[in-house]
Amino acid sequence: MTWNTPHGPSDLGSQPRPARSEDASRAYPTIKAVAILEAMASARRPLSITELGLLLGIPKPTVHRIVRMLEDKGLLQREPGDRRFVLGARLVSLGLDIIASSMQLGPRHAILAALSAELGETCNFGVMAGSHVVYLDRVESAWPFGLRFEPGSRVPLHCTSMGKLFLSLLPKQKRAMLLRAAPLHPYTANTITDLDALDAELDRIRETGISTDNQEFLAGVVCVAVSVASASGRPAAALAVSAPNARMSLEQALKHVPSLRAAAARLSETIVETERPPANPRRKLRGKAA
């Protein structure tokens, strides 16, 4: 939703937060590296070495050395065709693992477990990360046979209920670029692989706020998903119920939408949105230096 990242599509207009209370320019090299990663994570857009140096008050040669090290370790990566950097795959994976493990002991897992008990089926909570959906938490049904996906598992966007929901909320241009970046793999006979047909399906989902997977990813399995908003109302994640079609038809799954939306509202209360940074963090930093 404004997601991405590991928290979904990002707001590309955001500015990074300035360094925290520690003075990054005087910190040990390890702390400087952490400060750079914090700035990159909060920026929600690519940053150059020069921008990082100005933002954190660290000399450019030092930033250059640390960024190269982080790039070499997969924690940062260069934006294609650009001199700026974004979060690396290894750092994104680490962030998702941390969130997934912490959720097992938190109120979100309790909400998901209660919903699964109410519906009698498997319930999933996930976010969009790159070109996939990543499950942050999942509660399996009590039935002896079911699908086994662990938190951290990745599934495609174009043929899953949560994935199509995320795609529907992207700006059309960004959606089109993402869908054309890789072939729409036909996982089952029901997978929508025609771009025009999928685009029409995504427009319908955007209008209704309800996304379905009618045996499009796994034969014999149906899913229904709704959005989970942050405190400010921006889409942040998705909540879905899934079950074998032999036990729950798509029509029956759609009857669970009110329960899904009620649980999504409770989940929204657990999402703490990063505080918006000041409009001009560089000016604030210079003021502190003065």
User: What span, in angstroms and rounded, lies between the C-alpha atoms of 179 and 235?
Assistant: 20
Residue-wise burial string across 84-121, b where 16 or more C-beta atoms lie within 10 A, e elsewhere? ebbbbeebbbebbeebbeebeeeebbebbeebbeebeb
Flag whether pLDDT at 103 surpasses 60.
Answer: no
Distance from the first to the final alpha carbon of the chain: 39
Residue identified by tokens 């072939």 is 183
Question: Residue written as tokens 């909320």?
Answer: 169
Residue 284 has pLDDT above 60, yes or no: no
- Find the mean pLDDT for residues 204-221: 96
pLDDT at 285: 41
Alpha-carbon distance of 12 to 86, in angstroms, equals 12
What is the SS3 assignment for 113?
Answer: helix
Instruction: Give domain 7-87's CATH architecture.
Output: Orthogonal Bundle (1.10)
| Predicted local distance difference test score (pLDDT) of residue 89 | 79
Asked which of 66-70, 125-129, 145-149, 223-227 is least confident by mean pLDDT, the reply is 145-149
The residue extents of the domains of the chain are 7-87, 93-268
The 10s digit of each residue's pLDDT in 149-200 is 656 678 899 999 999 999 999 999 999 988 888 889 999 999 999 999 999 9
Q: What is the pLDDT of residue 129?
A: 84
274 DSSP assignment: P
pLDDT value at 230 more than 70: yes
The β-bridge partners of 127 are 134
Contact 63, 53 (CB under 8 A): yes
What is the arithmetic mean of pLDDT over 125-141? 87
The mean pLDDT of the chain is 80
Query: How far, in Å, CA of 163 to CA of 198, rounded?
Result: 12
The CATH classification number of 93-268 equals 3.30.450.40
pTM, full prediction: 0.63
For residues 238 and 165, the answer to whether their CB atoms sit within 8 Å is yes
